Structure formats: C-alpha cells, structure tokens
Amino acid sequence: MLEHKRMRLFKGILAALALSTPLMAQSQPSVDWSRVQTETMQHYQALLRMDTSDPPGNESLAANYLKQVLEREGIPAQLFETEPNRANLVARLKGNGKKRPLLMMGHTDVVRVDPKKWTFPPFSATRDGGYIYGRGTIDDKDNLVASLITVLLLKRNNVPLDRDVIFLAEAGEEAATRVGIEYMVGQHFPEIDAEYCLAEGGGTTRSGGRVQFAQIQAAEKVPHTIELTAVGTSGHGSVPRMDNPVVHLAAAVAALGSWKPPIRLTETTREYFTRLTTFALPQDAARYRAVLSPDSRAASDAVDYFAEHDPSKASMLRSSLSPTLLSGGLQVNVIPSEAKATIDVRLLPVEDPAAFLDAMRKVVNDPLVKVEYTGQNIRPDGRPARVDTEVFHAIESAVVRNYDTTTIPSMSTGATDMAYLRAKGIQCYGIGSATDLEDVAKGFAAHSDQERLLESELHRFVRFNWDLVLDLARAK
Ligand SMILES: [Zn+2]
C-alpha cells in the first residue's frame, strides 16, 4: 500500500518534471531506418565509386559530392583546399553553445590498388552475398558515410543541440597529410576546433560470426625515423679494413634488431589488457594478466610469446624499432666510406624521445656509427584520450545498445590524423564498423586486395554513430 503510494508520488514528480522542462523530456527523434538504409547504401556506393587513390588523391570528387548532398538539405558546407583537386570539407550544425563542439571525421582518400588482384573491380562497390566490395569500404568511407547520415538526420529532425556538431571530410590521410589534417589544423583550426573528436581507428571485432568486443582507439604510438650512419676509410676490396662501414653498420642493425626495450604500460594499455582478461580464454588471460606487472619475468615471457604469435600486442607494450632501409657501397671491389640504415621507430606515448635515442646509442655502442633522428615523418606527440570522459561513457553505452558487448580502449601501433588534434588538446576516439577477425587472413582487410564490409554492419555502424552523437550533442 505504502509502496503503491510512493510509486504514484514518484510518477507524479516525473510528470511534473517533464512538463516544466520540455527539453529534458524530449523523446528520441523518430527515424525511418529502412529508408535511411537505402539512402546510406546510395551515398556509400557513390563515394566508393570515386577513385580517390592517394597518391594522387583527387579527393575533391568526394568533397564536392558531399557538399552538394549537404547543401540540398540546407546544411552549409565549405571546401578548404591547399592543392588542386584535394579539397577538405567542413560542415557545421550550430548548437546553443552550452558545451564545446563535437567533431566527426572521415577521410575521403584511399590507398592505391592493383586492379588485377581484385575479383570485383576496386571502384565498383559491388554488392555480393551480403557484402559490399571496394577500396575504402572499411577505410574509411564507412566512417565518412556514417558521419554524413548523422548530420543529415540531426538537421532533418531539427534536433536542438547543446554543442556544435562539426563534420570534417579530410583529404590526404593515407599519404599526404600536408593537404589534409596538417593544413586544416595549421591554417583553419577554428573551423574544426572541438572538445571531442570521433574518427577512424577503432571497431568491433567479430569472430565465428559473433561480436566479441568493441575496440575504441584512445591513443597511438608516435612515429620517428632514426638513421644509422657508419663511416670509415674507403679502399680496395682486396685489402680488408677494420673500419669497413658495411661491417660496423651490419653489427649495429643486428644489435638493435634483437634489442628488447623495456616493457611499459600506458593508461590506455593498462585498461586494454585489464579488460581483455575479463573475457579471454584462460591461457590468453594469464598472459594479459602477466603484462600488468611489466617488470616481471612472466611479463617478458608473455611479450616474447606475443612477438611470435600476436606481434601487434607486443608492439603495444614497448617502443619498437624495425630496420627498413639499407644502403652503402658502389661496386664490389670498393670498400665504401659510408653506409646507412634507416629504422622505423614507434615510441610509446610515455617515452621520452631523447632518452630513447640515448638508449639506442648504448645498444649500438660503436663510435663509428652515428645514431640520429632524421626529423622525417614527424607527427605531433598527441596526448592519449582519457577513458573516464563523458564521451568514453557514451561510447560504452552506444556499444552495449548496438553490439551488446564490452568496450576496450586501445592504442594503435600506427599513426592516424587524430595525432594532430590530440596535440591541440582535443580528446579523440577512434571508432569503426564491425569486421570479422577471419577476414584478415582471407585477405579482406583494410588496405588488402579485396576490401569488404558486411552490409548489415554498415547499417549497424550508422545507427551506433547516430546514437552516440545524439547522446553527446542533443540539448539536455
Ligand atoms: Zn584510414
């Protein structure tokens, strides 16, 4: 009886609140999802059929298309271009300014193709057996179309916003950031300045046809290029010399190649491995637990295991180096006076570059071999995004709602455009559609010779993106 009265009182209060604060009581905008699916597929295929291989890019094909789609619905969109045919597009829906903006990004360029290797032509956007095939299907025209649809739906439903929602379709992500994110951050930053950004780099993993977990990219390693230069005295090949630079260089490369820099955890990777332990198979979970004590013998054994069987996890646990280029010598009978090697170095975000260089010099331990950063391919050292922000919590609930699975924050071993935004203090998170783990071995992954995405997963990702952005930006 008492319980019953309390319940009535509670319901009464709720009703009063709803009347007094109409904005809070807004129901979910109604969306006709079957119509949206038709529209999603139409834009997705149109974008996939544009050859935006980078180089040369020609991203203006996509930027102009998006501009016309947005403007048809009264959404102002602007193009920013520093080189011909390489436009970036920015569209903005205004909010009431209560919160700082949210930026959604998708890149319009794709990596190049070798058409001979493709069963379906790479720019045909062929639909077959529930999949869509084509270059860019999962990198990154899925994020691009999800952002586009979200902006269109916000506008059509006249959703009142607490913050501006900005859509950036950027050029040059794959091979020429100077025309894309670097240019936008350097020359037009106020157009894209935001509190949070959502971009590529994450995604949900399926295996055996079932969703396993959602990975949200919250950090990335920082790429550096290091050059080794060995010097010696040139001479006749018939008279071996102690200072032959080829010999000294080879020893230095071998020493660095077998060096194991210290295992270190970051806030992101600690959370990543901790959450993995909760649903991994027992033998895997034991290794994930082991690396949580990075100085232990068990951690070093686990990382050795990863290095052989799951190398990207090994790379997440230490700053890494891969020797990739070697040069030296003119002809067989001439001892050269110089030989060089180039090392692709990926530092953990917690690593001090100067200290790491010193450590490398100690490993090389040879006065005839110089070890230096070249200053090439430098991306800014972006601070990892936090996992206790409102965005991360919103991502987790949108993941549960759409994928009914666990969210784990991850650190990319490769670099993304988010580095430039993180360096400006924007909290960035990488999201993406669900793909099958088995597709990697079958050759259907991003950058492979037959990229593909399940149609059902494209549509699910669009809804995920919509739920997430609505949660973060709708006036409350
Ligand atoms: Zn990409």
pLDDT digits (tens, 9 = 90+) for 193-228: 999 999 999 999 999 999 999 999 999 999 999 999
What pLDDT score does 377 carry?
Answer: 62
The pLDDT value given to residue 5? 41
> What's the CA-to-centroid distance between 435 and ligand 1, angstroms?
15
**58 CA → ligand 1 middle, Å:** 16
Ligand 1 center from residue 250 Cα (angstroms): 35
Ligand 1: distance of its center to the CA of 57 in Å? 13
Backbone angles phi, psi at 444, to 5 degrees: -110, 15
Angle (nearest 5°) at CA 376 between 374 and 380:
115
Ligand 1 centre to CA of 107 (Å) is 7
Q: If you measure from the C-alpha of residue 475 to the centroid of ligand 1, how many angstroms do you get, rounded to a whole number? A: 31
The answer to whether the bond into 295 is cis (omega within 30° of 0) is no
Confidence at residue 22, expressed as pLDDT on a 0 to 100 scale: 42
Tokens 């010193």 correspond to 358
Tokens of 410: 């991850």
Rounded to the nearest angstrom, the distance between the alpha carbon of 206 and the centre of ligand 1 is: 20
Q: Is residue 429 within 8 Å of residue 216, measured between CB atoms? A: yes
Distance 198 CA to ligand 1 centre (A): 13
Q: How much distance in Å is there from the Cα of 93 to the middle of ligand 1?
A: 25
Burial 338-347 (b: 16+ CB within 10 A, else e): ebbbbbebbb
- 7-20 b/e with 16+ CB inside 10 Å = b? eeeeeeeeeeeeee
- What distance in angstroms lies between residue 292's CA and the mean position of ligand 1's atoms? 30
CA 201 / ligand 1 centre spacing (Å): 7
> What's the gap in Å between 172 CA and the centre of ligand 1?
10
Q: How many CB atoms lie under 10 A from the CB of residue 54?
A: 22
Distance from Cα 334 to the centre of ligand 1, integer Å: 45
Distance, CA 416 to ligand 1 centroid (Å)? Answer: 7
Distances (CA, A) of 294 to 114, 223, 247, 288, 299: 42, 23, 35, 11, 5
Tell me how many degrees the CA angle 254-259-265 measures, rounded to the nearest 5. Answer: 150
Give the residue ranges of the chain where pLDDT is below 50: 1-25
106 Cα: distance to centroid of ligand 1 (angstroms): 8
Distance 380 CA to ligand 1 centre (A): 18
Q: How far is the CA of 110 from the centre of ligand 1 (A)?
A: 7
Helices (H), 60-208: 60-72, 141-156, 181-187, 189-192
How close is the Cα of 433 to the center of ligand 1, in Å?
12
Dist. CA 344 → ligand 1 center (Å): 20
